Chains A and B, each alone.
Chain A
Amino acid sequence: STVVLVFQAPTANTPEGSSSSSDFRFCVKHGDRVRVGEALGRWKEE
């Protein structure tokens, strides 16, 4: 079975290809094993 999450998250709406530290960033990789409660991604509030 599978779970698909679709969600909005902060992005500084910076030009394509560059990112700001407040962008939401995934902290997992393709194929990573995850468990309930572990962070999938984070962002910083500027």
Chain B
Amino acid sequence: TSFLNNLRSNHSARASSLGGGGTGSGGGGSGDSKGNAFLLPGATMATILMLGALHARRLYEDKKIEEKRERGIELEFKPDVKASFLGILPLRSISRAWGSLTSVEIPVWMRPYVYKAWSRAFHSNLEEPALPLEEYASLQEFFVRSLKEGCRPIDPDPRCLVSPVDGTVVRFGELKGSRGMIEQVKGHSYSVSALLGNNCLLPMAPEGKESEDEEAIGENNDKSWWTVSLASPKLRESISASPMKGLYYCVIYLKPGDYHRIHSPADWNALVRRHFAGRLFPVNERATRTIRNLYVENERVVLEGVWKEGFMALAAVGATNIGSIELFIEPELRTNKPKKKLFPTEPPEERVYDPEGHGVKLEKGKQVGAFNMG
């Protein structure tokens, strides 16, 4: 407002010095001042209209997608301008700023209101947190809350694999062929070795016929499977390639309101931990359709090891609002650290857990780690 006032006074001073008074020269000065008076409300109105139009367009597009889905048409991978725009944003810095904001301590009397508002917005269950709401000093602490005893009973069947997290099953199936491709969305897949790392411990894949139309990410040549078989022979011994085993995968998406601690899906030994410092694209249904290699590009922590049925790997993939992944078995691990340069092909930081070949024993249902904000 002060700026506009200055502008206006300069303008009228100039007008009077030129013509010896506003009215004499046709009242231009008074007309201009009226035009300026509309400048601010006009800009505000234009902004509101623009935001409204963008929101209406978003609603229309969502409606079209819903209609397609109801007609059983599976949505295909289709990059768009928004995805490219996200690519140039400093998402890691934005994520860290969000983390700093949510780590601010909230006055005790405000905490129930803030957490109830959060829970109402993101459909969290307020019956389950282990502590009274007043005990969580910040939104970040509330977000990574543990639950009351008995809230998550573990399926006792020894012949079953249980979910490591609360969430929505996005993809699942058996990995066939030599590349082990996981479908991100119809029309775009990524390979298991791109997700877990080129020297992952997977048993030697049978020589399979390449399928030309599959897009392999992160593999320079087909020999990467052989490098798999040669990597860290001591670790490899603990995983035997058996024809009686299939290789399966399951992708589970956690909503912001979900319980964000990660548990062990079975009794297994985590032999290796790999930390990929990566991007932090938002992870949601739209992003899986528009951002290429979303799970391979994003910051993630991979635990690899063995269970009684063979190979086991758990990849925890971060997102913009949930950029940190903590491991209770390795508390000193820090993710989403500031980095000067981020090279997409930067090798992951790897750690082999002691004793080599045995690693850390994790019981089925035990807490292994957590996602956190920022």
Contacts and interface: CB of A to CB of B under 8 A. Distances in A.
Interface residues of B, number: 65
Interface in A3-22: 3-13
Nearest to A44: B159
Contacts of A9: 161, 245-246, 248, 309-310
Contact of B265 (A10, A24, A40): A40
Interface size class of A (residues with CB under 8 A): 20 to 34
B159 A1 contact: no
A45 to B, nearest CB: 6
A11 B244 contact: yes
A41 B370 CA distance: 23
A28 B172 contact: yes
For A12, A29, A39, which residue has the most chain B Cβ atoms within 10 angstroms? A39
B369 to A, nearest CB: 10
Interface of A: 1-13, 23-24, 26, 28-45
Interface of B: 152-155, 157, 159-175, 182, 192, 195-196, 202-203, 242-254, 259-263, 265-266, 283, 295, 307, 309-319, 322, 365, 371
15 contacts: A1-B283, A1-B371, A3-B262, A3-B316, A6-B315, A7-B161, A7-B311, A9-B248, A11-B246, A30-B172, A34-B165, A34-B168, A39-B163, A40-B162, A40-B169
Given A1-B317, A9-B248, 13 more contacts: A1-B283, A3-B165, A3-B317, A4-B317, A5-B161, A24-B248, A26-B173, A35-B163, A36-B152, A36-B154, A36-B365, A37-B155, A40-B160
